Amino acid sequence: MDNIAKTAKSRKRWSAWLGLIPFLVFCLAFEIVPILLLLRDSLLLKDGGMTLSHYGDALAPLYLKSFINSIKLSGLTAIIGTVLGVFIGYAIYRWPNKRVQDFLVTLSDVTTNFAGAPLAFAFIIILGSNGVVTQFLLQYFHWKIYPDFSVYSFSGLTLAYVYFQLPLMVLLIIPAFAGLRKEWRESAFNLGADTLRYWLNIGIPVLSPSLIAGFTLLFANAFGAYATAYTLTGSRLSLVTLQIGFTIAGEVLHDPGIGQAMAILSLLIMGSSIVIYQIATNRARRWTRN
């Protein structure tokens, strides 16, 4: 190729990037630059010097509690969601009737729309102190769930979060089961393996990227959640997202630096789970692609 053609080609390619400018400018203006400025501000003192003191303040006992609560809530509901989701997903995957399978997948799909404030309120209806399920358990099983349980507390929030975690895991894991090929199972049994050995040596290793992807996605999903917690607990339970929300809405007098540091820390926690999710998903795709 002679030089002129080469220059023309590279100029063409270079000019092709111009077509991306409107999109990139939008992303920079309303996503990337504001986040970077937030990072900068979280490291600045009022007089302009650099400091890590906001981070120290954000991890003082009062706010550390909200991180612990958020991580506990996200971790617990992600574990429950992953474990239950895998078993339910497998039950759906192995269900002999295709119609029932399709119905259950559609149910999972539709119920993922039921989140946030409507979901929180639905749990108040069924599990509030006069809720339907509360009364049902009392009348038929003489089981008084209050005051040990409260829908407005950590336990209630856990049940509500599991509601949106479960269908998500089911939708995520069913394609992974489809990636476990029949031939592997047959060959394993022909070679003398029993069910346990099959799952330990083939099933679980093949599924593990999907399991990790599922867990991290569920964790991030719960960690970033705001509306459900806001509606259900208000300010009764301290969570990171609620605290950051208070900083913005100005309901509680905060040092803005603490809010910024909390935001960057939660960005790190959620961002790293999404990175792990992405790596695991790419690995899982090796099995599910064909």
Partner 1 sequence: MKQKPSVSQVLLILFFILYMVIPIIATYVFSVATRWDRTILPEGYSLEGYTTAAQNPYFFKTLRNSLVLSLSTVLVSLIIVVPTVYWVHVRLQSAKSLLDLLMILPFGIPGVVLALALVQVYNFQPLSRSALLLIAAEVVFTMPFMYRSVSNSLAAVDISTLTEAAQSLGADIKSVLLEVIVPSIFPGMLSGSLLVFATVFAEFTLARLIVGAGFKTFPMLLVEYTRIDGTIAAALSVISFTVAWIASMLILWVGGKGVRSTQDIVKAK
Tell me the one-letter amino acid at 225. A
Q: Tell me which residues in 14-33 interact with partner 1 (CB under 8 A).
A: 16-17, 19-20, 22-23, 26-27, 29-33
Q: Is 88 in the site for partner 1 (CB under 8 A)?
A: yes
Can you give the C-alpha Rg of the chain in angstroms? 25
Q: Does 111 bind partner 1 (CB under 8 A)?
A: yes
Q: Is 260 in the site for partner 1 (CB under 8 A)?
A: yes
In the complex with partner 1, the residue whose CB is nearer, 13 or 289, is 13
Among 8, 34, 186, 194, binds partner 1 (CB under 8 A): 34
Longest dimension (CA), the chain: 88
Whose structure tokens read 């612990």? 68
The tokens describing 245, both together, are 């929300």
Question: At CA 110, angle to CA 275 and CA 134, rounded to 5?
Answer: 100
Please say which residue, 48 or 192, places its beta carbon nearer to partner 1: 48
Q: Which is nearer to partner 1, 23 or 148 (CB)?
A: 23
Query: Phi/psi of residue 20, each to 5°?
Result: -90, -10
Q: Hey, is 50 helix, strand or coil?
A: strand
Q: Does 38 bind partner 1 (CB under 8 A)?
A: yes
Tell which positions 185-244 bind partner 1, by CB under 8 A: 217, 220-228, 230-231, 241, 244
Options 43-51, 56-64, 93-101, 178-186: segment touching partner 1 (CB under 8 A): 93-101
Six token digits for residue 55: 């981070």
Nearer to partner 1, 112 or 208 (CB): 112
Counts of helices then strands in the chain (DSSP H, E):
15, 0
Q: Taking CB under 8 A as the criterion, which residues in 129-188 touch partner 1?
A: 130, 132-133, 135-136, 139, 161-164, 166-168, 170-172
Question: Is 120 an interacting residue with respect to partner 1 (CB under 8 A)?
Answer: yes
Residues 273 and 216 sit within 8 Å (Cβ to Cβ): yes
Decide if residue 258 touches partner 1 (CB under 8 A).
no
**Residue with smaller CB distance to partner 1, 82 or 241:** 241
CB atoms within 10 A of CB 135: 13
The β-bridge partners of 50 are 44
Binding of residue 252 to partner 1 (CB under 8 A):
no
